[in-house]
Structure 1
């Protein structure tokens, strides 16, 4: 038997038991050690706000269609930040290039479940880099999301960059933007996260609830505004403030997962008058101008190499390691007490 974490309804979580499946050709079996919870994407399904719960995504038309849900409760095994040990490899794959071997620790995506059966094409060369702690492998995907946003920002040495949202991905974006040569202003509504942003290299921090964010950023840049802003909180008011904060023809990278109608976003104001750019960053692909050189695999591997090389610290982002059996408590913590948690990881 294996166990899987699933949402049975809005804010309802259970850990279900299911039969172990035979290994099909072209797959590997992985016993999960750690699985990181995404406080953004996953909470949309936990809270019942995810668009797939009310509409269907048409991949050919690239449109959402009304009238039917793309996913329904129970939503089983969400999660995209797993680390585990290979326990079985389909016999015809043994010894082929890049295929993990039994006993090897690997990172990948197979969801919050005690065991993953994963197509080999998604696991080639996914062994943990030498010297990397297993828990760090759970940051491959979130690190790639942050890295993708920084690539979309097209930062140049010495530019002023504002990063809105200092959760896990925002903190990683702050660190990567600093490594890229930016002077970073970190913005969040929680002082505890702003303190962490200082540790991750932010030159300045601003509290979205109490500070005049756009005015302060313009004052500190001689009236110009930030060259670029990365908005990663998924809050429409934050996206609006990011637009207020950038220079004429400045760029705003929208990397958050925005839910519902855009309350608080007024596109007739600074966006219109300052001719600002809004660029979407989403982990389904890399910035168009980089397609010939970058892909999502390279993003993930590059991020883990940065961690292994000591350029990015992820260990201090882990606030809680929770037994998978107590997954419901982990989601309550992230949903109701965000100031008390950063990266919450399920241990199987």
Structure 2
């Protein structure tokens, strides 16, 4: 298949709708590959943000529904057009030896692995897609890599207990990976459908916040010992969630909560409410990337880090995630609720938004 000169890109606009626009295919530079895209995943926490600094209104399917009816919604294109897809290599740039035309690949990267029919991606932001793994599953590379980086940032030990607050796709993946690493995991969410999904794939425990008291349930889950760590896996205001999580952590003899809370995404919160949590030895850690290398342009296009010093780069993290899917250990398929034809992206999203609380994983697909 020859490299086309034009491509179609699905772009989010300020009014909360998607429009398909035509643009030139980016130049195939040394160290990059061109991909005939077959599937791209939607990340609502990142792709739906509006306001002067793009963080005044944080993402989520409920937020998108509300924003579409807002009189303040504009009509300009946003910077958001996806960052995770999968497809077939159609051309390789100078110096690329890892891939050849015809290879199935999963790709990530803001500005690279967009919602489109033809993507040009730095080759270290792509990995081979094992044959048992579908393009739809492979299109979740970015969120899988982010979840795996969150696992590494938590640095828990085998057998320890962990809570994931927010069971969107990245929260569900974070929970699964912690369980694969030998941790016991409890998940919290305010949406019953999400806790149902978590139970479906086999989470150790799940709490629907509101009908259930997450603090009481979590203390019971840990046998009174307290959590060894936790994650905040949603965007927007999270002060109450962080304070509730702090109340569940293990404590020193004089009552100080101890352990890491990993923030996966763009949550906002006061550091801690000391009246609620007491003096604290909690470590707040951010995990917004897929591992070393991401956003290092030289590395993305081919420069290498010594494996003996940097074992887990973005590439090796992605390779591990794809292998875990191929081996049936990481369940992405259960998280996908809507598969929408790329050509009908806006209409498909509009139909799905009739019941936003039953939306989780959403993927745009092309038959080729």
Asked if TM exceeds 0.5, the reply is yes
After superposition, the Cα gap between the structure-2 partners of 1:205 and 1:119, relative to the gap in structure 1 and judged at 3 Å, is: closer
Deviation (angstroms), 1:308: 0.9
Deviation (angstroms), 1:178: 1.2
After superposition, the Cα gap between the structure-2 partners of 1:340 and 1:266, relative to the gap in structure 1 and judged at 3 Å, is: same
Determine helix, strand or coil for the equivalent of 1:247. Answer: coil
Retained in 1: the 8 A contact 2:145–2:317?
Answer: yes
Asked if 1:224 is matched to 2:230, the reply is no
After superposition, the Cα gap between the structure-2 partners of 1:299 and 1:23, relative to the gap in structure 1 and judged at 3 Å, is: closer
Q: RMSD of the TM alignment (CA)?
A: 2.8
Deviation (angstroms), 1:221: 2.7
Corresponding residue for 2:289?
Answer: 283
In the alignment, structure 2 segments of 5+ residues that lack a partner are 1-5, 57-74, 252-257, 293-307
Distance across 1 between alignment mates of 2:30 and 2:286: 37
Corresponding residue for 1:347?
Answer: 365
Determine helix, strand or coil for the equivalent of 1:292. Answer: coil
Retained in 2: the 8 A contact 1:5–1:77?
Answer: no
Corresponding residue for 1:118?
Answer: 121
After superposition, the Cα gap between the structure-2 partners of 1:49 and 1:189, relative to the gap in structure 1 and judged at 3 Å, is: farther
Determine helix, strand or coil for the equivalent of 1:312. Answer: coil
Map of 1:45-64 to 2, 5 A cutoff?
48-49=50-51, 51-52=53-54
Corresponding residue for 1:97?
Answer: 97
Determine helix, strand or coil for the equivalent of 1:273. Answer: coil
Distance across 2 between alignment mates of 1:269 and 1:333: 45
Distance across 1 between alignment mates of 2:52 and 2:90: 34
Distance across 2 between alignment mates of 1:342 and 1:89: 34
Retained in 2: the 8 A contact 1:83–1:137?
Answer: yes
Retained in 1: the 8 A contact 2:9–2:81?
Answer: no
Retained in 1: the 8 A contact 2:124–2:315?
Answer: no
Corresponding residue for 2:84?
Answer: 81
Q: How many residues of Structure 1 are paired with residues of Structure 2 in the alignment? A: 316
| TM-score normalised by L of structure 1 | 0.81
Deviation (angstroms), 1:20: 4.3
Corresponding residue for 1:297?
Answer: 315
Corresponding residue for 1:31?
Answer: 36
Map of 1:324-343 to 2, 5 A cutoff?
324-332=342-350, 337-343=355-361
Deviation (angstroms), 1:13: 2.2
Return the match for 1:256 from 265, 273, 278: 265
In the alignment, structure 1 segments of 5+ residues that lack a partner are 55-71
Corresponding residue for 1:243?
Answer: 246
Determine helix, strand or coil for the equivalent of 1:79. Answer: coil
Deviation (angstroms), 1:177: 1.2
Map of 1:101-250 to 2, 5 A cutoff?
101-109=100-108, 110-123=113-126, 126-234=127-235, 235-236=237-238, 237-248=240-251, 249-250=258-259
Corresponding residue for 2:17?
Answer: 12
Asked if 1:316 is matched to 2:334, the reply is yes
| TM-score normalised by L of structure 2 | 0.77
Corresponding residue for 1:66?
Answer: none
Retained in 2: the 8 A contact 1:5–1:76?
Answer: no
Retained in 1: the 8 A contact 2:148–2:290?
Answer: no
After superposition, the Cα gap between the structure-2 partners of 1:25 and 1:160, relative to the gap in structure 1 and judged at 3 Å, is: closer
Corresponding residue for 2:72?
Answer: none
Distance across 2 between alignment mates of 1:53 and 1:182: 33
Corresponding residue for 1:60?
Answer: none
Retained in 2: the 8 A contact 1:174–1:200?
Answer: no
After superposition, the Cα gap between the structure-2 partners of 1:145 and 1:338, relative to the gap in structure 1 and judged at 3 Å, is: farther
Deviation (angstroms), 1:329: 3.7
Distance across 2 between alignment mates of 1:26 and 1:278: 36
